[in-house]
Structure 1
Amino acid sequence: MQRNYLLSAIVLGGFLCAGMVYVGQSANSALLEMKALERTVTVKGLAEKEVKANIAIWPINFTEVDNNLPKLYETVQLKTDKVVAFLKERGFSDSEITISLPSIEDRQAQGYVDPNVKYRYSAKVNLSVYTSQIDLMLSSRKQMINLVKEGIAIASQDYENRTEFLFTQLNDVKPTMVQEATQNAREVAEKFAKDSESRLGKIKSASQGQFTISDRDSSTPYIKQIRIVSTLTYYLND
């Protein structure tokens, strides 16, 4: 009886030892796997694309002066009609043309009158063209010199009067550009893995980044450059 009890204890102890060895080996293996999973590489992928703006906002401004206010209004209306006629002749529609109320300044109402000021009233006229006809807008802008023959001095395209070009179709190019940025990042990661004598594993994390749209250069603001930088982290395997 005592011998049977002793034998059972020895067998049970053997099983316990074997179990502890197995658990220890399993834990060690799991630890090694966890350490392997910690080996990563983070890379950035770039995608760039040039596109043509699809919307133009073209401001057209001119100024008139006179000492007779009713006559000034009459001149402003006449010349505004001529500018609108010019735009329609080139192919722009009424829905694309916006006319703001003229801004009238009474220079004598300011208290101090500059003796060198010849005209009391000054009217600033603002028109704008909001259009998707980019090529038509560009060619029409070059023909604005024709309005000089009508006695209309259009303000120069300075900072305040510059034409604004927009690209509003980003959703149409997003999927392709994201794919290109991801592929670019993977190529960089694969080269790193090869150089480090490893194999590229699955993606651990990915950040798409933000799309930026800027002018290609100051001479052609209607050509836009779209850019995105994606950040991806890959696992590395032996």
Structure 2
Amino acid sequence: MIQTSRLNSIVIGISLVIGLIGLGLSIKSGLLAFKSLERSVIVKGLAEQVVDADTVIWPIKFSDAGNDLASLITSVQEKNTSVIAFLKLHGFDDDEITIGTQTVHDKLATEYSNNQGFKFRYTVESSLSVYSHSTAKVLNASSKMSELAKQNIVMLRQDYNNRLEFLFTKLNDIKPQMVQTATQKAREVAQKFASDSKSKLGKIKSAKQGQFTISDRDSNTPHIKKVRVVSTIEYYLSD
């Protein structure tokens, strides 16, 4: 009876040892598989595309000076009419032209004026704006502004708040293709890395689409834009 009990104990002990060995091997295999899955590579893919601007904002400002304010205002209004006629002559419609404000500067009203040293008391600045989807019309008309100078219309210099602005507003139309291109280029880089490291490229672990940027292609052609996006993608690697 005692011998049978000892035999059973031995069998149970051996079974436990075998079970523990099997569990250990199973855990080791699982850890190795998990570790293998955790191997990855992070790569970036760049996509760029050159596009034409589709919208133009063209602020037009001129000034006139005189000593009789009423006559000066009348002169400015007449010059406004001449500028509008110039724009229509070059193909712009009424809905593309907006008449802005007129600002009057009185030199005698300034704090530091000494009532001397200037020829004209009043200066009036007038502004108009062109909003168009035709860059060709704007480029053509803006290159011929000297025609207005012949009519004694003095244009003000463009500054940051008063400059010809070309925009590209159809980004959503090209986004899908650009994201696809960036993803493909990222995969090419990852595939090269995997090949060099004697590994196999797996599925995507994570992906991050970068911000789209739109800039002038160069300083001489602001109506031609460069759209750019960088995608960051992490791939699994396996042996």
Residue 238 of structure 2 corresponds to 237
Unaligned runs of 5+ in 1: none
The residue identity in structure 2 corresponding to 1:231 is T
Residue 138 of structure 1 corresponds to 139
Residue 68 of structure 1 corresponds to 68
Answer yes or no: is the 8 Å Cα contact 1:107–1:113 preserved in 2.
no
Q: Deviations for 1:53-110, whole angstroms, at most 9, x for unmatched residues? A: 1111101111000100110010000000111111122221222111112100011111
SS of equivalent to 1:102: strand
Residue 121 of structure 1 corresponds to 122
Residue 216 of structure 2 corresponds to 215
SS of equivalent to 1:204: strand
Residue 186 of structure 2 corresponds to 185
Q: Quick one: distance in 2 between partners of 1:35 and 1:19?
A: 24
Task: Tell me: CA distance 1:167–1:114, structure 2 relative to 1, closer, same or farther (3 Å).
Answer: farther
SS of equivalent to 2:101: coil
1:1-238 to structure 2, matched below 5 A, reads 1-111=1-111, 112-113=113-114, 115-238=116-239
Shift, 1:189, TM fit: 0.7
Shift, 1:158, TM fit: 4.5
SS of equivalent to 1:92: coil
Q: Quick one: distance in 1 between partners of 2:9 and 2:156?
A: 105
Residue correspondences, number: 238
Shift, 1:205, TM fit: 1.2
Q: Deviations for 1:133-154, whole angstroms, at most 9, x for unmatched residues? A: 1111111111222112222122
Shift, 1:114, TM fit: 6.0
Shift, 1:221, TM fit: 0.6
SS of equivalent to 1:201: strand
The residue identity in structure 1 corresponding to 2:117 is N
Unaligned runs of 5+ in 2: none
**TM-score if structure 2 supplies the norm length?**
0.94
SS of equivalent to 1:10: helix
Q: Quick one: distance in 1 between partners of 2:115 and 2:26?
A: 95
Q: Quick one: distance in 2 between partners of 1:45 and 1:230?
A: 5
Point out the more displaced range, 12-21 or 53-62.
12-21
Shift, 1:26, TM fit: 0.6
**TM-score if structure 1 supplies the norm length?**
0.95
Point out the more displaced range, 170-179 or 11-20.
11-20
Answer yes or no: is the 8 Å Cα contact 1:155–1:161 preserved in 2.
no
The residue identity in structure 1 corresponding to 2:64 is E
Shift, 1:15, TM fit: 2.2
SS of equivalent to 2:16: helix
Identity, % of aligned positions: 52
Shift, 1:159, TM fit: 4.2
Cα RMSD (Å) of the superposition?
1.5
Shift, 1:130, TM fit: 0.9
